[in-house]
Amino acid sequence: MAMLHINDGNYEALIQTLPEPILLDFWADWCVPCKMLAPVLEELAEEEGFIRVGKVNVDESPELTEAFEVQSIPLLVVLKGGEVRESSVGVKSGEAIRAMVRTALED
């Protein structure tokens, strides 16, 4: 699936219409660790059976950045039903992200 580009203007509409959980990546163009994480997330976004992946540029989305209390980036947040289930700061491997998502989605 294609990666979603999420911002202050489209967040509410997207989150309300997505039936499945989503992994949000809070990032910025100037963030070197964010650039290191990008290919991993792109690969996961295309992986069949993985949840939707959305990118939020912190410089372009100050409202979301504040709402999620972003202190450091990259910040990964798993949402299910619009609620934060898990979050993690820093660069992670694809396997570590998969494990974080599995944990977040356990009921």
> Domain map of the chain by residue range?
4-84
- pTM for the model stands at 0.93
Does residue 107 have a pLDDT over 80? no
Catalytic residue among 34, 64, 78, 100: 34
Which amino acid appears at position 25 of this protein? D
Residue 82 confidence class, pLDDT cut points 50, 70, 90? confident
Which residues 6+ apart lie within 8 Å of 51 measured at CB?
Answer: 20, 21, 22, 23, 78, 101, 105
Query: Is 31 considered catalytic here?
Result: yes
- For residue 46 the two structure tokens come to 């295309």
Query: In residues, how long is the chain?
Result: 107
Query: Is 57 considered catalytic here?
Result: no
- Region 82-97: mean pLDDT is 94
Catalytic residue among 22, 24, 31, 97: 31
Q: Give the integer Cα–Cα distance in Å for 13 and 38.
A: 24
CB 48 within 8 A of CB 103: no
Q: Give the integer Cα–Cα distance in Å for 52 and 24.
A: 9
Nearest CA among 63, 69, 83 for reference residue 16: 83
- Cα distances from 105 to residues 4, 27, 101, in angstroms, run 20, 23, 6
- Region 3-8: mean pLDDT is 94
Q: What is the CATH number of domain 4-84?
A: 3.40.30.10
